[in-house]
Amino acid sequence: MKERGVDDGHIIHINSVLGHSLPGGRNVSMYHASKHAVTVLTEGLRRELVQLGSKIKVTSVSPGVVVTEFMNLYGEEIKNRLYTENPTLQSKDIADAVVYTLGTPPHVQIHEITIKPVGEKF
């Protein structure tokens, strides 16, 4: 943005509710750590832009469980258990939040949107 002379853009990071907490679970600590890093990087970037006097907005969107291809990495058994034992969001739910964020007026910055399906346990 800086190279192109843009000073009123919007950076949106897709994070996770796991970037704000540490629920139990095996073999997922690196995923949690990476999402906590996104949380810190987002806030750090926002503060740097404020110090520069920039009008670029920075938003973190943190969804709960979303039905995506990502869960295929864990295998059918784990994926099916996660999706049957937990309420889920659809990708469109996240896209709608991004569109809402992009539609805010120039003087409004949404720092964080947390989106969870009704009844989520995390």
Return the SS3 of 55: coil
Residue 7's DSSP bridge partners are: none
Quote the CA–CA distance of 97 and 61 in Å, as a whole number.
8
On the 0-12 / 13-18 / 19+ scale of CB atoms within 10 A, 58 is: buried
**CA torsion angle for 76, 22, 91, 37 (degrees, to 10)?**
-110
What pLDDT score was predicted for residue 25? 66
**Domain assignments of the chain as residue spans, ordered by start:** 10-115
CATH of domain 10-115: 3.40.50.720
* Euclidean distance between CA atoms 2 and 6, whole angstroms: 6
* pLDDT confidence of residue 84: 85
pLDDT number for residue 55: 95
The residues near 80 (Cβ < 8 Å, ≥ 6 apart) are: none
Each of the 122 residues of the chain gets a pLDDT tens digit; together they read 888 988 899 999 999 998 888 776 666 788 889 999 999 999 999 999 999 999 999 999 999 989 888 777 777 887 888 888 889 999 999 999 999 999 999 999 999 999 999 998 76
Q: What is the pLDDT of residue 24?
A: 67
| 100 labelled catalytic | no
